[in-house]
Structure 1
Amino acid sequence: MKAEHCIARLCLVLVVAAGLPLSALAAAGRVQFAAGDVQMRRGAALAALASGASLDNGDTVLTGATGRAQLRFTDGGLVSLYPDSEFTVTRYVDSGDPAQDSFAVSFLRGSMRAITGLIGKRNPANYKLTTPTAVVGIRGSAYRAFFNPQGQLEVGGEQDEIEVCTHAGCVGLKVGESVLVLSSDRLAVYTNTQALLPLPTPGWPFAAGEQVRSDGSNAAVFLAPVPVVPTTPTPPGNGGTTPGGTTPGGTTPGGTTPGGTTPGGTTPGGTVPGGGTRPGGNGAGGVARPPIIRTPPVLLPPPILFRPPIPIIP
């Protein structure tokens, strides 16, 4: 009886598996690159994510303040996630049949850049990026999206065309165009400036890594920031005004005091008791004299006189 029960369960599993495309049983993709604080939430489990890990339906990739990741799907599509991002694979099916294919993902926060694969090329309607305020569809192959500090979604086209749809309708974007999504009930608004992904903060511990471009070649992730060398202010030259120039009252220290003159009747640097003069006659509060630089004379050697030879007449 127990053997018959096991056989029945096995037959049920085979029947269910036979009705599913092979791609539905395989991984959706893998983590091609991960650096910094990157985690994956699979069901109730949350664990650190490393390069080479598989990516399945329902998985959520989370990047922290120093995290960055690149995901490669089985159809050749690429998704690059920047710091403080949350990306979920909602439904992914790569069957080779446009009637069954699906690339449905959600993007809740952060910044990302995507290059579509064969699923989007076979049928653009099968590709959807869902956000809290809009749905991004494609007619082409590359775009970028991020949430600005105000929490508003900005989307820009990089190759061919894409469309950004809200409850109010859809807006098409060509290469170089960008839109701002203010709310889910309003049409996306074209912006005058191209949407730029936020730049990483200098000092993050990223170096040249194994990130891969769309053509399969390796690319650097971050280069070490160039150290900033502090500069020392140049002191004022000899021709500038020395400290203690004109006081708020308009006279130099040692000049005319509020009640009269300084002892001796002259400012420092003038006549001193005994009839001499003080070096630096302009006083401590005057303008310093530039130093006298004596250049030694240049002695030229005596000229060489050329006398033509006297011809000898035979």
Structure 2
Amino acid sequence: MHLIAATALAMVAAGAHAQAPSAATAAAIPEATSAAAPAAPAPLEVVTRQAGFVKTLKGSVQLQEAAGGAARPAQAGDALLPGGRITTGPDSAASIVLRDGTTLVVGPLSQMELKAFSFDATTHEGNLLAALLKGSLRMVTGLLGKAHPEAVRIETQFAFVGVRGTDFIVQADEQP
């Protein structure tokens, strides 16, 4: 049942982000983040390492900036760094947009960690490795997945998913 809810939310989020941005737009995402979150300017280190940002969320969503760090309630516009983790509660979901235009929609009762992300807006080279620890994840690939699909992978407890399409859903149930 949560997969259906996650899919519905994903379709709404993907509809708002129907096309991957141009290289110029992808490079400008940190500016879009600061416009979405009118808080104090982010430190330069965060902006240069930023993989993407939380675009929308529904319900209880927690953001952990690095492995072992403290989790805090996520807000639209929050930066997502490599090593960051998103955890959603029941009836909750989050949509994340990465610098290359990739959209990740984390469904209810899910946990996703962005293990690695790099992207060169000029050459469209880089890599993306995300781990779906539990729950559901919908991914609409951006420039990186379109130019170098072999560089995009989703890891679960039992398998790696290599990207060969541009829109897919992965579900990972916890071990009994």
Q: Determine the C-alpha separation between the residues in 2 that align with 1:117 and 1:36.
A: 26
Q: Tell me how far 1:45 sits from its aligned partner.
A: 1.5
Q: Does 1:119 align with 2:147?
A: no
> What are the residue-to-residue correspondences of 1:1-314 with 2, within 5 Å?
25-43=48-66, 44-96=69-121, 97=123, 100-148=125-173, 151=175
Q: How many pairs were matched up?
A: 128
Q: Tell me how far 1:151 sits from its aligned partner.
A: 4.8
CA contact (8 A) 2:51 2:98 kept: yes
Kindly report structure 1 stretches of 4+ aligned residues shifted beyond 4 Å.
Answer: none
Q: Secondary structure at the match of 1:111?
A: strand
TM-score w.r.t. the length of structure 1 is 0.39
Segments of structure 2 that go 5 or more residues without pairing to the other structure are: 1-46
TM-score w.r.t. the length of structure 2 is 0.67
Q: Secondary structure at the match of 1:121?
A: helix
RMSD: 2.1
Percent of residue pairs bearing the same amino acid type = 26
Q: Secondary structure at the match of 1:133?
A: coil
Q: Which has the higher helix share?
A: 2
The higher relative CO (CA closer than 8 Å, separation ≥ 6) is in 2
Matched residue type, 1:93: S
Segments of structure 1 that go 5 or more residues without pairing to the other structure are: 1-23, 153-314
Q: Tell me how far 1:42 sits from its aligned partner.
A: 1.9
Q: Tell me how far 1:107 sits from its aligned partner.
A: 0.6
Q: Which of these two proteins has the greater Rg computed from alpha carbons? A: 1
Q: Secondary structure at the match of 1:107?
A: strand
Q: For residues 131-174 of structure 1, what are the alpha-carbon distances to aligned partners after superposition, in whole Å with 9 as ceiling and x for unaligned?
A: 110000112201101135x759xxxxxxxxxxxxxxxxxxxxxx
Q: Secondary structure at the match of 2:90?
A: coil
Q: Determine the C-alpha separation between the residues in 2 that align with 1:140 and 1:66.
A: 28
Q: Which has the higher strand share?
A: 2
